[in-house]
Amino acid sequence: MMDPPTVNVQQGATFAMNVLISGAQNVYSVPVQLAFDSKTLQVVNVSNGGFLSQDGQAVAIVHREDPSTGTIQVNATRPPGAQGVAGQGTVFTLTFMAKTSGRSMVTITQGGAKDPGMQAISVSPAQAAITIQ
C-alpha cells in the first residue's frame, strides 16, 4: 500500500510517501519498481521505514532512479543469515519534491517481497495520486 493514497502539495514543497506492507509472513527483502511523472516530481530521498528492522537488524536500502523514464527501483533487504519478519508496517519512505504544478500517479509497477530463500511472496499492486498546485 501507499500512504497517503492522495497528496495535495504546493509547487516547490517536499512530501513523504510510505510504502507499506500488511499481513506479511517471513519477509526478508522487498524489491520494487515505482513509476512517477518526472516532469512534476523529483525523488529527494529514500529511507528505511522500520518494518524489516523491527527486531533490531540493520536493513540495507538500495535505490536507483532514472529521471528520464520516471522510474525508481528500491530494494530493502535484511542482513545475510537473518530470518524473515512478519506483520505490517512501513518498508521504506520516499521523499519527493513537487517540481511543477500538475498531477502525477506514483505506482508500484513491479515488485513484491522475498523470503530468506529468495522465493517470491505475492503482494498487491498499489498507487497514490499527487496533485501539485
Q: Examine residue 109 and state whether it is found in any structural domain, yes or no.
A: yes
Whether the predicted model's global pTM rises above the 0.85 cut: yes
Whether the CA torsion 120, 81, 75, 55 is positive or negative: it is: positive
The total number of structural domains in the chain stands at 1
Q: Examine residue 63 and state whether it is found in any structural domain, yes or no.
A: yes
Compute how many other C-beta atoms are within 10 angstroms of the C-beta atom of residue 25: 11
Range of the domain at 28: 2-117
By CB atoms closer than 10 A (0-12, 13-18, 19+), residue 105 is middle
Strand (E) or helix (H) holding 72: strand 71-77
CATH number at residue 55: 2.60.40.680
pLDDT at residue 105 above 90? Answer: yes
Assigned C-alpha cell, 128: 497514490
Residue-wise pLDDT for 38-61, tens only, equals 999 999 999 999 999 999 999 999
| Window from 17-21, 87-91, 124-128 with minimum mean pLDDT | 124-128
Identify any residues that bridge with 8 across adjacent strands, giving them in sequence order: 131
Q: How confident is the model at residue 122 (pLDDT cuts 50, 70, 90)?
A: confident
Residue 70, pLDDT score: 94
